[in-house]
């Protein structure tokens, strides 16, 4: 039923005049044109912020205790690395809806950084650079390859991530050449694996690869 708002000289079916909000009718009816909106509870964001807050709380508290009690030995670094890694794992890997490829790459990078911090804090015998990081990169490249082989339809989506993994694969060798790292075989093996992945990508998907490169680099 139409009501007339004398104040605005317009007709409306709504209980209140949409223009001046005056009450025109007592009848509570459905709005014919619009739904009542559900307010989306942004739980995910809240959870992420909570995780971040707990992390900041933990790091700052341990930093304070460390500095007040034993400033010569910086043991809070043992807290810092794992906590930062934990934040990333919960907030990005579990709670975000990012692409699996990007989750894998971020895991590799953050895990490497955390292990490097732990390594450095514990007297820097460089076990992280020598063995763990090359191994991690190889494992992640293998993991992404497996995903792609299981879902060949999704291959195109993963090209960017695969390429990033291949580039990361050469990182350990660069570390070796710049004499940061002194054990050659894990780095060399990783580089070879990355190279093989690259050759595989080119051989088995010539056209898709080329097409993808054209798209991604068009200007």
**Mask 79-118, x = binds another protein (CB under 8 A)?**
------------------x---------------------
9: contact with another protein by CB under 8 A: yes
Q: What is the CA radius of gyration of the chain?
A: 28
Residues in the chain: 219
41: contact with another protein by CB under 8 A: no
Neighbours of 115 (CB within 10 A): 18
**Which of 22, 25, 29, 31 is the binder for another protein (CB under 8 A)?**
31
**Which of 26, 28, 35, 68 is the binder for another protein (CB under 8 A)?**
35
**Which of 1, 21, 28, 149 is the binder for another protein (CB under 8 A)?**
21
- In whole angstroms, what is the distance from residue 92 CA to residue 163 CA? 21
**147 burial type by CB count under 10 A (0-12 exposed, 13-18 middle, 19+ buried):** middle
Return the residue matching tokens 């690259």: 198
Contact set with another protein (CB under 8 A): 2, 8-14, 16-21, 31-38, 97, 156, 160, 211, 215-219
């Amino acid at each position: 039923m139409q009501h007339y708002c004398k104040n605005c000289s317009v007709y409306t079916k709504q209980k209140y005049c949409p223009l001046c909000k005056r009450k025109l009718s007592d009848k509570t009816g459905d709005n014919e044109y619009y739904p009542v909106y559900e307010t989306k509870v942004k739980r995910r964001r809240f959870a992420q912020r909570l995780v971040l807050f707990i992390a900041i709380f933990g790091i700052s508290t341990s930093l304070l205790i460390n500095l007040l009690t034993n400033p010569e030995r910086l043991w809070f670094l043992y807290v810092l690395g794992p906590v930062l890694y934990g934040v990333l794992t919960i907030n990005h890997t579990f709670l975000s809806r990012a692409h699996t490829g990007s989750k894998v790459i971020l895991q590799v990078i953050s895990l490497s950084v955390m292990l490097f911090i732990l390594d450095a804090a514990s007297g820097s015998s460089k076990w992280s650079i020598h063995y763990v990081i090359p191994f991690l990169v190889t494992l992640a490249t293998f993991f992404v390859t497996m995903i792609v082989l299981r879902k060949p339809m999704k291959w195109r989506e993963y090209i960017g991530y695969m390429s990033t993994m291949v580039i990361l694969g050469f990182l350990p060798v660069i570390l070796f050449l710049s004499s940061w790292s002194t054990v050659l075989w894990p780095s060399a093996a990783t580089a070879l694996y990355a190279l093989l992945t690259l050759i595989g990508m080119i051989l088995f998907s010539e056209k898709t690869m080329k097409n993808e490169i054209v798209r991604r680099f068009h200007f």
